[in-house]
Amino acid sequence: MAKASFTDQAVQLLKLLEQRKGLEMDILKEEDGDVDTISMNLGGAELLRNPGSDGYVSGDIVLLHGAAVIVTDSGREPVPGDSYEIPLQSSASVEEEGDGIRVNTERALYVIRPTNG
């Protein structure tokens, strides 16, 4: 069986996340003018391949593991499954910015940075 081949961006993001393993991180996702904030104690990350990828669902997924909450105006709500997905298309860009990571995809902008950083 052939091993899945991931995009360079997915591999780069995985390496950057692994360097931050064990840290409390904020994940800001901006999509269509809305901003969602997730606070996560980053336990690790892995690459997954979505075999049924199309224009909406990506081929590569970076799955972050760790205890996480969604930060809202009314408080904090647990993230189901203690995981968070970042779908990546081949056109995605990944940049390290100081202590943080900036991921630009066709659908959203993700900024991953140390909490209170």
Reported as a single tens digit per residue, the pLDDT across 71-86 is: 988 889 998 889 999 9
Please give the pLDDT value at position 27.
97
CA–CA gap between residue 60 and residue 77 (Å, rounded)? 27
The single residue listed with the structure tokens 């003018």 is 33
Please give the pLDDT value at position 29.
96
Residue 3 in domain: no
Residue 52 in domain: yes
Residue 103 in domain: yes
Please give the pLDDT value at position 90.
78
* Total number of domains in the chain: 1
Residue ranges, the chain, pLDDT below 50: 1-3
DSSP 3-state of 25: strand
State what percent of residues in the chain have pLDDT above 70: 88
Please give the pLDDT value at position 49.
84
Enclosing domain of residue 73: 8-114
Please give the pLDDT value at position 97.
93
Please give the pLDDT value at position 117.
56
Residue 39 in domain: yes
Per DSSP, the residues of 65-92 read ES-EEEEETTEEEEPGGGEEEEEE-TT-
